[in-house]
Structure 1
């Protein structure tokens, strides 16, 4: 998919972490709505194979290789998109990792740093190339993918919960900064979604959605310019109720709950 290939008309969506799971489902949903695609993944061969299998030619879909944890890498991908395809109408910072941690283990502090580099700094770096251009145009949507895990910290999930809480706070800050510019900031908090990542979980996942169902609901929320939405809403209710529990009750409720796999136990890339 050569960047010099002429593009067709139609809105453009830029999606990170597009090679599997939620990102791939979002790409398919936006394609069905007539969007051109700018898809970012570390595994570009997988991404290109998927795009070709969908029948997307280079005029419809461009693939950019980048690691969102590397600021220069993801910024370069955004700049390449601007040069080859123009200013996106929607930018979705979806790429993320989820790895369990134990603060007593030195190597897990490195896990936490890598989680923040991907889920937080990488999110801001994903948006960076497009903010000025979208503001100048006076339209667009910047979409941060958080998690319902942002609402309350879970034992063994310290890095992930903290990073997703930071996604919510960062997007709220950015929304205030861009108020009146015409650029919307949308924060989406998935509950449990059936992806290669969540299939490794060793605990119960209530209200589990398929990636396609999540993508449908996310597409509607983005189109409506919703500032904050938990998908599915039932998980939002559960999380808010947990937020209201006094700490001793919450701690007792989660005592003995299986924890997320730590580094080396399972692959933890979205």
Structure 2
């Protein structure tokens, strides 16, 4: 039986990949779980397979791209389990785009709705309660792709740069409240999202290795962390390159699958 006074982690995008690995890591540390995804059947099956009963783990269905849907999931969590100690806005999508293609503008809109508006809507139900309590951590999962724009990745890079800027703004707003804002920038992690990539993925981590490092960073209330650190160094060096050199370096690099290509 889980202690009802154990801390609670609310995690979106928890049905696979990074989100599921984070859920497992928090459970290992004795936390209760509130898990959110569209695929509730898969998520509940995973929780059952781990032996997590309703006193330890509850599943909430939501489309994070729909504001009212994810806000309702957060409100349901508070009603059923109480105010979380950590909220991890992990749900996201990564699809290539070509601005010359009309359909890809819809891809951009969906990406921003999920990766940006959905992140803010994930935090929304909990901010006032955390501020009143004087504690809590709001965690935004960005990406190392936020640091420089990559050809064919316009929607993803723009959205993840937006996550970094939004979380920085929110951190300033909540500075005196006791509520911490943590921004994590994963490099390449071996998930269903990355396995279709048509290019090399240096410093590739397993989801479990990422979750271990992310758990440590969140626990330490680190404001900004690239995981693994080697990708942070590489990305910062790319940021320092003059634009003509950077453009030449990426010329001919394979691009991310667009919608309808591969499995994206």
TM-score range normalised by the length of the shorter chain: over 0.9
Counterpart check, 1:189 vs 2:176: no
- Measured in 1, the distance between the counterparts of 2:131 and 2:218 equals 18
- Measured in 2, the distance between the counterparts of 1:41 and 1:57 equals 18
Instruction: Give the structure 2 partner of residue 74 of structure 1.
Output: 70
Counterpart check, 1:137 vs 2:130: no
Instruction: Give the structure 2 partner of residue 34 of structure 1.
Output: 30
Paired residues of 1:37 and 1:60 also in contact (CA < 8 A) = yes
For structure 2, the residue ranges without an aligned partner over 5 or more in a row are: none
**Among candidates 187, 200, 207, match of residue 203 of structure 2:** 207
- Measured in 2, the distance between the counterparts of 1:123 and 1:13 equals 15
Counterpart check, 1:238 vs 2:206: no
* CA offset digits 1:179-224 (Å, max 9, x no partner): 0101000000000000011011010000000000000000000000
Paired residues of 1:95 and 1:119 also in contact (CA < 8 A) = yes
1:8 positional shift: 2.4
- Measured in 2, the distance between the counterparts of 1:127 and 1:22 equals 18
Counterpart check, 1:64 vs 2:73: no
**Among candidates 157, 173, 184, match of residue 161 of structure 1:** 157
Counterpart check, 1:49 vs 2:67: no
* CA offset digits 1:34-85 (Å, max 9, x no partner): 0000000100000000000000000000000000000000000000000000
1:265 positional shift: 1.2
Alignment size in residue pairs:
263
TM-score (norm 1): 0.96
1:152 positional shift: 0.1
**Secondary structure at 2:14 match in 1:** coil
**Secondary structure at 1:40 match in 2:** strand
- Measured in 1, the distance between the counterparts of 2:129 and 2:31 equals 19
- Measured in 2, the distance between the counterparts of 1:158 and 1:252 equals 17
Instruction: Give the structure 1 partner of residue 8 of structure 2.
Output: 12
Paired residues of 1:7 and 1:85 also in contact (CA < 8 A) = no
**Secondary structure at 2:195 match in 1:** helix
1:7 positional shift: 7.3
Instruction: Give the structure 1 partner of residue 176 of structure 2.
Output: 180
**Among candidates 198, 221, 230, match of residue 194 of structure 2:** 198
Paired residues of 1:7 and 1:58 also in contact (CA < 8 A) = no
- Measured in 2, the distance between the counterparts of 1:180 and 1:219 equals 24
Paired residues of 1:14 and 1:90 also in contact (CA < 8 A) = yes
**Among candidates 81, 84, 88, match of residue 84 of structure 2:** 88
Counterpart check, 1:24 vs 2:20: yes
Instruction: Give the structure 2 partner of residue 102 of structure 1.
Output: 98
> What is the RMSD of the two structures over their aligned residues, measured on CA atoms?
0.9
TM-score (norm 2): 0.99
